[in-house]
Chains A and B, each alone.
Chain A
């Protein structure tokens, strides 16, 4: 198997230095702020763990965290099954495969603020295609600047539009790696479509689905630009997710201490949930 060789460290050194420069120094800055109070002029006072306590007890943080979990939960239960279903119905070979892949990958390559702006003009009640259709053709009263439910439906739809293709591409990669012989054997045994899916396709997609779910969890939990451009966190605070709230505190109010403490709690939650997902999804492999 792999040979033991400590000189391999020289190969990873450039990566280590670059990532450490970007990760450790800013992280130390954040830790530094999180235990101090400042009134400007670069004068700092030791604050201990007060900020952490204050953030963990604040209703504002609980509300933002709740909205964040709701958002991530909703997009995962929509995007993952939808992505698998689309991957299953895609052609396996031929001219249409690259066409489908290119068109489906397109939303992922649009800068995030353009995605937000694009959905903004798409949903404007009187001049946006979707907004006009809902309001004037279907007669539904839809205005996401007034109605929190409409704002939520819009940011969820936008995320489904933006990222379902990631799940499709990954599931599809798992599907095309299944040899034809598996399907022929299943046909001989008279297996139903459901059992082909359950016992052949799903197990083969497991690795890529783990990656897809992990990536979608991390990215949706850290989402900032798209909902910020689309709704600005409103109406009221109804779509203020964790990152939006954090930037409001850090750059809007310039409360560096509480913002830093909140950053660390936020990062710890992301790490913990990613680790839980990872452990749960790979548990069977170890046995």
Chain B
């Protein structure tokens, strides 16, 4: 047992090293970074973080990202729930083809869609809004949410539905007060994956925004090119992008692995 735990420990160390370097750099001044190699910050400073928390172009980047990610997660899960229920409980014309078509959208390279998305969302007047990014991310998040939820719903016996109808429940009441609690782990997992893929995606988010809804990731790339090479500032901004993800993982830690394991393939 002891010998075996070497492997995960070494792996986790490997995962943590680049993250450590990013965090360490965020506490250094740009001068110290450029003047040479130091394993720990010599002149420990919070200046980089201070810039981010006081400059609106920086902190609005975070607010924008969190806004469109949340909207996307809510939309994706809300529309995926009834669809997943239909796929798991009923047979209907074209169900298999539809399911497969949904999954193919997960395979489309974002680079393929960047330019047409820009034109489409400009045409409908949504360019540079949070809603545009939230809707665009539905392209890959809805299929994923349907896939995960369908797996979890398949694990709930059909007798539950039938008993509820016999007891006189209407469909909406049954769905909200009996069925949803039965698959709440699935909803958590689906929401987690939607959050994750919307949070980490940059290409579409950057293409669909200019000023008002610009994501934090785009603010970082702009700074990298315009303000010279402010490594300390960039490292601090990068460190802060890890935090929302870490919080979300903590809440679903017991379910993440299960999420895909229950999906069908």
Residues of A whose CB lies within 8 Å of any CB of B are: 2-9, 11-12, 14-16, 18-19, 21-23, 25-27, 29-30, 85-86, 89-91, 96, 98, 100-114, 117-119, 121-122, 126-130, 132, 136, 161, 164-165, 168-170, 172-174, 176-177, 207-208, 210-212, 214, 218, 221-222, 224-225, 229, 242-243, 246-247, 250-251, 256, 259, 263, 266-267, 270-271, 274, 278, 282
Contacts and interface: CB of A to CB of B under 8 A. Distances in A.
Given A18-B79, A118-B22, A8 B105 contact: no
A173 B111 CA distance: 32
B5 interface: yes
Residue from A6, A103, A126, A165 whose CB has the most chain B CB atoms within 10 Å: A103
Contacts of B109: 221-222, 224, 242-243, 246, 263, 266-267, 270
Contacts of B203: 224-225
Contact of B91 (A4, A119, A128, A282): A4
10 contacts: A6-B93, A9-B93, A86-B11, A89-B6, A106-B19, A108-B200, A207-B265, A218-B106, A247-B111, A282-B265
A16 B98 contact: yes
A18 B75 contact: yes
A22 B139 contact: yes
B172 interface: no
Given A15-B80, A23-B108, A251-B115, A4 B138 contact: no
B116 interface: yes
B67 interface: no
A111 B199 CA distance: 6
Given A118-B19, A132-B37, A173 B260 contact: yes
Interface of B: 4-8, 11-12, 14-22, 25, 33-34, 36-37, 39, 75, 79-80, 82-83, 85-87, 89-93, 95, 98, 102, 104-117, 119-120, 135-136, 138-139, 142-143, 146, 196, 199-203, 216-217, 220-221, 224, 231, 234-235, 238, 241-242, 244-246, 248-250, 253-254, 256-258, 260-261, 263, 265
Given A6-B93, A109-B248, A224 B110 contact: yes
A15 B91 contact: no
B36 A127 contact: yes
Contacts of A207: 261, 265
B8 A89 contact: yes
B91 A3 contact: yes
A83 B201 CA distance: 24
Contacts of B8: 86, 89-91, 100
A18 to B, nearest CB: 5
Query: Would you call the interface of chain B mostly helix, strand, loop, or mixed?
Result: helix
Given A30-B112, A104-B12, A121-B21, A174 B261 contact: yes
A109 B136 contact: no
B15 A222 contact: no
A246 B85 contact: no
A210 B265 contact: yes
Contacts of B12: 100, 103-104
Contact of A26 (B18, B79, B120): B120
A114 B241 contact: yes
Given A14-B83, A18-B75, A122 B21 contact: yes
A104 B245 CA distance: 12
A66 to B, nearest CB: 17
Contacts of A15: 79-80, 83, 102, 142, 146
Given A109-B242, A110-B200, A211-B265, A12 B98 contact: yes
A170 to B, nearest CB: 5
A193 to B, nearest CB: 11
A11 B151 CA distance: 17
B234 to A, nearest CB: 6
Contacts of A23: 105, 108, 139
